[in-house]
Amino acid sequence: MIVIRNLTKSFDDLVALSDISLTMEEGQIFGLIGTNGAGKSTLLRCLTGIYRPDAGEILVDGEPVYENPAAKSRIFFISDDQYFFPGGTPKEQLRFYRSFYPDFNTDLFHEMLSILKLDETRRIQTFSKGMKKQLSLLYGICSGCKYFLCDETFDGLDPVIRQAVKKVFIREVSERGLTPIIASHNLRELEDICDHVGLLHEGGILLSKDLDEMKLGIFKVQVVFRNPEDRDSILSTFPLVSSETRGSLQTLTLRGERVQIETAITALQPVFYEILPLSLEEIFISETEVLGYDFKNLA
């Protein structure tokens, strides 16, 4: 388990993270999302011990991570700007990682390298962006680490490889309790695999919930009311997050309990109504709009 308590990190006058407290359970896929500049990459670098927190603490299985090789050996980190040895090959980079990760699965690495048709003797600097990301993922998956931290994991991967990576993550979580922690702007990708999601905004944690639980308190309803005042009746009972009108069809995103929303709407005997599933992207937009981060004002 990774426990973050009252974490603060600044760079000169810029406060990147402010009093963050968060728990990341073992054996779950944790999605880290947030607005641009929210502090996702900074948080990952603090989790891996690259940055020293200004205040607060980070515990990996009960141990502080900063300047602690034992705690760091349980973590593998893929940054958005991956680093490889200049002029190095996958084979040479492998020797480097094996020196830090004693449980590195060399046989699996070579097997997957062959499947992906990545030449272990070719200079990595000649690889495409997608090939480099594939190679980084292979090192992380085969390292035998307990916590796999990824910054923009799926960026640069084609659809086939993206699906393969998701399946590997799910398999590793199931078979050996791997805990992937994935920061990404691609909310659709995270929605497919994440068990838990943390939402950062302006250096703070806006919410941290299981994905299924997150979808319980907010619903999107498409409805055709019989009378104009029926809409006012619903909005006086349930907080409105967003609305859209196309002719007589209204799409309302409401906060509240599903049963209560359905009961209130059916009591008005509308011409038509339907409750639609809400995507992670829609939840992200609705939660950040509450804090004034309204994308409509940017258009």
More confident residue, 208 or 127: 127
* Pairwise CA distance, residues 172 & 228, whole Å: 53
Please state the pTM of the whole predicted model. 0.79
221 and 203 in a single domain? The answer is no
Residue 243, domain CATH: 3.30.70.1150
* Pairwise CA distance, residues 248 & 60, whole Å: 54
Tell me which residue of 211, 187, 216 sits closest to 275, measured CA to CA.
216
* Pairwise CA distance, residues 188 & 156, whole Å: 15
How high is the pLDDT of residue 192? Answer: 79
For residue 148 the two structure tokens come to: 């796999």
85 touches 93 (CB < 8 A): yes
pLDDT in tens, 209-223: 887 777 667 888 999
158 touches 130 (CB < 8 A): yes
pLDDT in tens, 117-136: 999 999 999 999 889 999 99
113 and 69 in a single domain? The answer is yes
Provide the pLDDT confidence category of residue 72 given band limits of 50, 70 and 90.
very high
**Residues of the domain holding 19:** 2-211
* Pairwise CA distance, residues 44 & 183, whole Å: 8
285 part of a folded domain = no
266 and 230 in a single domain? The answer is yes
For residue 12 the two structure tokens come to: 């000169």
Backbone phi and psi for residue 220, each to the nearest 5 degrees, phi listed first: -105, 125
Enumerate the β-bridge partners of residue 173: none
How high is the pLDDT of residue 95? Answer: 93
Residue 47, domain CATH: 3.40.50.300
pLDDT in tens, 218-247: 888 999 999 989 999 999 999 888 888 999
